[in-house]
């Protein structure tokens, strides 16, 4: 079938790309509200700086490594599209092999870029309040090229080895959530715990920020998941609904656990539960029906509400619970595909669920284990190398005094928050 431009798919993907890009500023607000007042600006900057750094790396090397022709073994793409060589406004990316429907490849490049940006930004939550900004600026493009791009090639290209194995990941459970979550654990171990971990309260300084950030993430997630259909059709609509439903059930599941365990439901729990449900539905949104999305969201909300406390037993300081929500939630959603995959969504045997049986579950387990091990191992090595060469952690004095002033010569609040004034006030800019 001769490829032809699909205007409807192109229009939807343009909108979806903008939605996914908004998720990174949304993440910045979400994370910014979760840290103490002395670190909010640094937290915002760690997300925002990921946008230009990943963009440059993606356009030069990343897209070709991830989505270029396979260089052998389904491991990595070649450099045939270095600097987007061979791609112009008339180049098409086929989204339906049967009909030949296609979108501009430049749009597909941009859509996938927004995924890469968000994924690396997620890692910053695990090392909040203690990472050198200069080291982070080197880490971001390096991680996008040596961790994210290979995993994207494995899972999302026809020649990728996990694609050929039959592992399913509709919108990023393996590529985004598990990769970032395992990498977050590695970086938390490389940098070590914050000063005061397990002894100081370290409460979120701005819960309205947290809820606003969660809302922006949820809004953008519709582009993240439904945009991955790469078409304006019934599957995109089903994925859209699944995304809404899973976020709702994740919130309810988390709040029920919180109310029974702690006595009261919290706004922080509501935001965290919604994100947990959205994380878990990401790999399965195109594989399960609406009832399946209910189960995925509910299970994720409950499991992740317990998982965030594992860091205290495991003695790793995952500052903003990237491991407990994104890593664990990604695993939940990826594995539940093996139990809940729907015939209506996947074109499999008739019935409410068919799951794929133990065979499909086994493929999902292989995907989880290999992606987690690769992301953790390479990230740990990258972090150690950067720490050895330039140092990845700020000094104890700067951490106690406040990372915002130490690294950015600014403070977010001139009078402090909740009665805690900043220890040093930045001088005003200009004369």
Confidence at residue 342, expressed as pLDDT on a 0 to 100 scale: 81
Q: Mean pLDDT score of the chain, rounded to an integer?
A: 93
- Contacts of residue 98, Cβ cutoff 8 Å, sequence gap at least 6: 1
pLDDT above 70 covers a percentage of the chain that reads 93
Which residues partner with 131 through β-bridges?
Answer: 393
Specify the DSSP element, H or E, that contains 299.
Answer: helix 290-307
* Distance in angstroms (rounded) separating the CA atoms of residues 310 and 332: 16
Counting Cα atoms < 13 Å in the Cβ hemisphere of 282 gives 32
Residue 417 scores a pLDDT above 70:
no
Question: What are the tens digits of pLDDT across the range 211-229?
Answer: 999 999 999 999 999 999 9
Cα distance between residue 186 and residue 177, in whole Å: 14
Please report the sign of the dihedral spanned by the C-alpha atoms of residue 71, residue 75, residue 79, residue 85: positive
pTM over 0.85: yes
Give the pLDDT confidence score for residue 355 in this predicted structure.
Answer: 56
**String of b and e for 142-171 (b: at least 16 CB within 10 Å)?**
bbbbebbbbbbbbbbbebbbbbeeebbbbb
Give the number of other Cβ atoms within 10 Å of residue 192's Cβ. Answer: 14
Model pLDDT, residue 382 = 98
**Residue 286: closest CA among 338, 329, 337, 232:** 337
Q: Is residue 431 over pLDDT 50?
A: no
pLDDT of residue 358: 82
pLDDT tens digits along 62-97: 999 999 999 999 999 999 999 999 999 999 999 999
Closest CA to 300 of 252, 261, 346, 355: 252
pLDDT of residue 418 exceeding 60: no
Q: Return the pLDDT at 428.
A: 38
For 404, the token pair is 């915002």
pLDDT digits (tens, 9 = 90+) for 346-402: 665 444 455 567 889 999 999 999 999 999 999 999 999 999 999 999 999 999 999
Confidence at residue 414, expressed as pLDDT on a 0 to 100 scale: 80
Residue 240 has pLDDT above 50, yes or no: yes
Instruction: Judge whether 321 and 272 are in contact, CB under 8 Å.
Output: yes
How far apart, in whole angstroms, are the C-alpha atoms of residue 99 and residue 2?
8
What does the buried/exposed string (b/e) look like for 19-56 if buried means 16 or more CB atoms within 10 Å of the residue's CB?
A: bbbbbbbbbbbbbbbbbbbbbbbbbbbbbebbbebbbe
CA–CA separation, 393 and 386 (whole Å): 10
Average confidence (pLDDT) over 245-273: 97
Percentage of the chain beyond pLDDT 90 is 90
Quick one: tokens of 372?
């987690």
Instruction: Write down the pLDDT at residue 263.
Output: 94
pLDDT (mean) for 40-60: 98
DSSP-derived 3-state class of residue 261:
helix
Cβ atoms of residues 188 and 168 within 8 Å: no
């Amino acid at each position: 079938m001769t490829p032809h431009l699909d205007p409807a798919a192109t229009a939807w993907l343009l909108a979806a790309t903008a939605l996914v890009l908004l998720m990174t500023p949304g993440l910045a607000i979400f994370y910014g509200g979760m840290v103490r007042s002395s670190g909010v600006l640094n937290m915002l900057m760690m997300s925002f700086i990921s946008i230009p750094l990943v963009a440059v790396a993606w356009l030069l090397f990343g897209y070709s490594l991830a989505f270029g022709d396979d260089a052998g073994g389904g491991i990595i793409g070649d450099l045939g599209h270095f600097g987007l060589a061979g791609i112009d406004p008339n180049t098409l990316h086929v989204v339906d092999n049967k009909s030949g429907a296609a979108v501009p490849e430049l749009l597909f490049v941009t859509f996938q870029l927004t995924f890469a940006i968000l994924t690396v930004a997620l890692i910053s939550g695990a090392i909040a309040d203690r990472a050198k900004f200069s080291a982070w600026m080197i880490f971001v493009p390096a991680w996008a090229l040596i961790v994210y791009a290979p995993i994207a090639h494995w899972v999302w290209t026809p020649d990728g080895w996990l694609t050929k194995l039959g592992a399913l990941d509709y919108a990023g459970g393996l590529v985004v959530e598990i990769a970032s979550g395992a990498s977050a654990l590695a970086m938390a171990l490389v940098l070590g715990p914050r000063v005061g971990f397990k002894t100081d309260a370290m409460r979120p300084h701005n819960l309205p920020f947290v809820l606003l950030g969660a809302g922006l993430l949820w809004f953008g997630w519709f582009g993240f998941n439904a945009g991955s259909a790469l078409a304006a059709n019934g599957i995109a609509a089903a994925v859209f609904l699944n995304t809404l439903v899973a976020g709702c059930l994740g919130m309810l599941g988390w709040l029920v656990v919180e109310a029974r365990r702690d006595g009261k439901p919290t706004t922080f729990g509501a935001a965290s539960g919604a994100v947990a449900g959205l994380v878990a539905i990401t790999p399965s949104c195109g594989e399960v029906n609406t009832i399946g999305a209910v189960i995925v969201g509910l299970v994720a909300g409950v499991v992740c509400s317990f998982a965030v406390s594992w860091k205290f037993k495991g003695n790793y300081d995952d500052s903003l619970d990237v491991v407990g929500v994104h890593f664990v939630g990604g695993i939940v959603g990826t594995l539940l595909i093996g139990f809940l995959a729907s015939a209506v969504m996947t074109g499999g045997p008739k019935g409410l669920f068919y799951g794929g049986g133990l065979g499909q579950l086994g493929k999902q387990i292989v995907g989880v284990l290999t992606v987690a091990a690769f992301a953790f191992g390479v990230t740990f090595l990258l972090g150690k190398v950067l720490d050895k060469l330039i140092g990845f952690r700020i000094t104890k004095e700067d951490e106690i005094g406040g990372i915002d002033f130490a690294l950015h010569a600014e403070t977010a609040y001139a009078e402090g928050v909740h009665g805690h004034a900043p220890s040093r006030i930045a001088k005003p800019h200009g004369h």
